[in-house]
Amino acid sequence: MDVIEAINSRFSARAFKPKAVPRETINKIFEAAARTPSWANSQPWEVFLASGEVLEKLRSANLERFLSGAPRSLEMPGPQKWPEQIQSRLDRNMAERLRSVGVEREDKAGRQKLLEYNYRFFDAPVVAFLCMERTLSTWSAFDMGAFSLSIMLAARRHGVDSMPAVWMTSYPDLIREALAIPTELMILFAIALGYQDEKNPINRFRSARRPVDEIVRLKGL
């Protein structure tokens, strides 16, 4: 599988089989991702992997916290407001995703069930929690984004599906305790890794992409 095939075939899997990912495969994925470029070769990434019994306990605690109605407490704050054109894309994408699984936008119970996937870590057998030093800036956050894509493309090369989602880090205190993450590290986001459940209709959805001539302003050619 070449890189273009990996990019085109990767998608955000929202339901995984319980099948374990071999340790050797995990090592190969992160050996490849470690080649990601970063500012001045700073390599700001710190990764904490959860699987097996540790992950199951964390999954149960995380879902229980969500169902209790506890507010999210992300360590990297999100935008206060999306620009209008981006908000429009977000709304359209959500409407299409709901439609793909037969859930009406007014169906609060149905939407709640879909949201629960995030807090169950999409039932993935492995979850990677990506962290960096709190003293670092958005320059390093950019490097973390590049690193996360390397993880997902390397995973695809090895037949492993992925799902990046910030909501998986909604309760960082639970994650920090379960994985012994030092307080000087900020928990940025997480990537679920595993093998997609092809029978679950939630995995049939593919989000649309903006055309190149809309996003690229080419001058001089």
Q: What is the CATH number of the domain that holds 48?
A: 3.40.109.10
The boundaries of the domain holding residue 10 are 3-73+120-205
Task: Give domain status of residue 30, yes or no.
Answer: yes
Task: Give domain status of residue 221, yes or no.
Answer: no
Contact 25, 158 (CB under 8 A): yes
Residue 64: predicted pLDDT: 97
Q: Which of 15, 9, 19 is nearest to 100 (CA)?
A: 15
Task: Give domain status of residue 39, yes or no.
Answer: yes
Which residue bears the tokens 């493309």?
A: 153
Q: Which two tokens stand for residue 43?
A: 């390599």
Task: Give domain status of residue 191, yes or no.
Answer: yes
Task: Give domain status of residue 54, yes or no.
Answer: yes
> Residue 47: which pLDDT band, with cuts at 50, 70 and 90?
very high
- How many distinct structural domains can be found in the chain? 1
Contact 175, 181 (CB under 8 A): yes
Tens digit of each residue's pLDDT (9 = 90 or more) over 105-117: 888 888 888 899 9
pTM of the entire predicted model: 0.95
Residue 120: predicted pLDDT: 97
Q: Which of 98, 191, 91, 100 is nearest to 151 (CA)?
A: 191
Of 8-12, 104-108, 137-141, which gets the smallest average pLDDT?
104-108
Q: What is the mean pLDDT of residues 121-148?
A: 97
